[in-house]
Amino acid sequence: METKNIKAYGTVASDAPLKQMNIGRREVTAKDIEIEILYCGVCHSDLHTARNDWGGTIYPAVPGHEIVGRVTKVGNEVTKLKAGDFAGVGCLVDSCRECDSCRHDLEQYCLTGFTGTYNGNDKHMGTQTFGGYSEKVVVDEHFVLKLPASLDLAATAPLLCAGITTWSPLRHWNVGKGSKVAVVGLGGLGHMAIKLAKGLGAEVTLFSRTPGKTKDATDLGADAVVISTDPVRMKSVKGTFDLILDTVPSMHDVNPYVSTLNISGTLVLVGYLGGLEPILNTVPMILGRKSVAGSVIGGIAETQELLDFCGRHNIVSEIEIIKIQDINEAYERMLKSDVHYRFVIDMASLKA
């Protein structure tokens, strides 16, 4: 297959900094869209993959799966977009498209495994996939998204991961007017959860360990903030919430939050991969038909639904724009939660 070299930023080892390198991209096939990347959001998954925190990283690794840009070339069978259009690419660039999940627009749960935008298996090139910390990306049109013209491009980028990660459970559990939703954690995922739940008409509460997040949460649209370290406040909301989105990315005790669920309520883990400690107490679950569940991103149709919804309601992420040369520093700041609330790379800096 014909390929071309382009500039990118990536790492060659788990303990090596990200730096400029060249990678190969395929020339467009009949169904492909080539996108000049204008902005790319920075996700915790980028950092974990670069540093092999989850294992299985293939090096050299080029992260980035919150991609927005301009279409520069399309294959001769493409109908979705044309050269000059703005487009987005999220966490998925391929799937089997034949299994039950794919046929029901749930490509994120592809039974043979979806192809991630980075560190996945590129079926065309026979190598791993490379992400959006790069000049261009070439993706099958099915996995390319249309962007609302009304939204700021840079601030739209995080919708493609942080946004859809929180939107998918909100939609699956039928959040709407009259729903009572709580969000655990006010970071990249948590701030989007507040905005989207509020946009759907829910009454939204933030769980926080410290009072310092109160103003930020209310500015984002939260109706209330409950300090989770205050036993009196926690008791006051026992049995309250229909849905809790837990966005905390590290191990923590979920039992106090389960007790705040209403009958048949569900706590959904969207930020943490791994075991739970201490042991999950099943008593309130059994006695109140409460559930602890998990959720990951969304399929292409659901992601397009999110983007269209955000376009109608003028919802975007709160961002700090950085240059690609600052990505290693940005990773360190992310580990310290020193970002409100999502870094977005201006990819023009790669050409500097």
Under the banding of pLDDT at 50, 70 and 90, the label for residue 3 is confident
Read off the pLDDT of each residue in 176-192 and give the average, rounded to a whole number.
97
Which CATH number do you get for residue 214? 3.40.50.720
Helices (H), ranges, the chain: 44-50, 100-103, 153-156, 162-172, 188-199, 214-220, 231-236, 255-258, 283-288, 300-313, 327-335
pLDDT digits (tens, 9 = 90+) for 110-125: 999 999 999 999 988 8
Q: Are both 17 and 150 inside the same structural domain?
A: yes
Per-residue model confidence (pLDDT) at position 179: 98
Does residue 1 register a pLDDT over 80? Answer: no
Domain tally, the chain: 2
Mean per-residue pLDDT of the chain: 96
Relative orientation angle of helices 188-199 and 162-172, to the nearest 10 degrees: 40
Q: Which of 156, 124, 150 is nearest to 25 (CA)?
A: 124
Q: Considering 294, 313, 342, which residue would you say is the last residue of a domain? A: 294
Per-residue model confidence (pLDDT) at position 103: 98
Q: Considering 294, 311, 326, which residue would you say is the last residue of a domain? A: 294
Q: Are both 27 and 128 inside the same structural domain?
A: yes
Does residue 296 register a pLDDT over 80? Answer: yes
Q: Identify the domain containing residue 70 by its residue range.
A: 3-161+298-351
β-bridge partners, 21: 8
Under the banding of pLDDT at 50, 70 and 90, the label for residue 198 is very high
Unique residue bearing structure tokens 């090096």? 59
Q: Are both 269 and 332 inside the same structural domain?
A: no
Q: Are both 31 and 129 inside the same structural domain?
A: yes
Q: End-to-end CA distance of the chain, in Å?
A: 30
pLDDT digits (tens, 9 = 90+) for 22-80: 999 999 999 999 999 999 999 999 999 999 999 999 999 999 999 999 999 999 999 99
Alpha-carbon distance of 339 to 193, in angstroms, equals 17
Q: Are both 249 and 327 inside the same structural domain?
A: no
Q: Which residue has the higher pLDDT, 213 or 161?
A: 161
Per-residue model confidence (pLDDT) at position 175: 98
Unique residue bearing structure tokens 């946009």? 199
pLDDT digits (tens, 9 = 90+) for 98-112: 999 999 999 999 999
Per-residue model confidence (pLDDT) at position 2: 75
Q: Percentage of the chain with pLDDT > 70?
A: 100
Q: Are both 284 and 196 inside the same structural domain?
A: yes
Q: Are both 207 and 175 inside the same structural domain?
A: yes
Read off the pLDDT of each residue in 187-208 and give the average, rounded to a whole number.
97
* Residue 77 amino acid letter: E
Using an 8 Å Cβ cutoff, are 221 and 244 in contact?
A: no
Q: Are both 51 and 156 inside the same structural domain?
A: yes
Q: Are both 148 and 22 inside the same structural domain?
A: yes
Q: Percentage of the chain with pLDDT > 90?
A: 94
Q: Which residues have a Cβ under 8 Å from the Cβ of 281 and sit 6 or more positions away?
A: 255, 258
Q: Is 138 helix (H, G, I), strand (E, B) or coil?
A: strand
Per-residue model confidence (pLDDT) at position 260: 98
Rg over alpha carbons for the chain, rounded to the nearest Å, is 20
Read off the pLDDT of each residue in 223-240 and give the average, rounded to a whole number.
97
Alpha-carbon distance of 327 to 18, in angstroms, equals 7
Q: Are both 259 and 310 inside the same structural domain?
A: no
Which CATH number do you get for residue 89? 3.90.180.10
Does residue 273 register a pLDDT over 90? Answer: no
Per-residue model confidence (pLDDT) at position 17: 98
The pTM (predicted TM-score) of the whole model is: 0.96
The sign one gets for the Cα dihedral 292, 338, 318, 320 is negative
What b/e sequence results for 183-203 when a residue is b if at least 16 CB atoms lie within 10 Å of its CB, and e otherwise?
Answer: bbbbbbbbbbbbbbbbbbebb
Residue 94 has, within 13 A of its CA and on its CB side, a CA count of 19
Q: Considering 268, 294, 320, which residue would you say is the last residue of a domain? A: 294
Q: Which of 336, 138, 143 is nearest to 249 (CA)?
A: 336
Residue 62 has, within 13 A of its CA and on its CB side, a CA count of 26
Strand boundaries in the chain, DSSP class E: 3-10, 19-26, 32-41, 67-74, 86-89, 92-94, 115-116, 121-122, 127-128, 136-140, 145-146, 180-184, 203-208, 224-227, 241-246, 261-269, 291-294, 319-323, 342-346
Alpha-carbon distance of 73 to 75, in angstroms, equals 7
Q: Are both 177 and 126 inside the same structural domain?
A: no
Per-residue model confidence (pLDDT) at position 227: 97
Q: Are both 34 and 114 inside the same structural domain?
A: yes
Among the ranges given (70-79, 93-102, 206-215, 283-292), the one the predictor scored with the smallest mean pLDDT: 206-215
Using an 8 Å Cβ cutoff, are 50 and 61 in contact?
A: yes
Does residue 352 register a pLDDT over 80? Answer: no
β-bridge partners, 11: 61
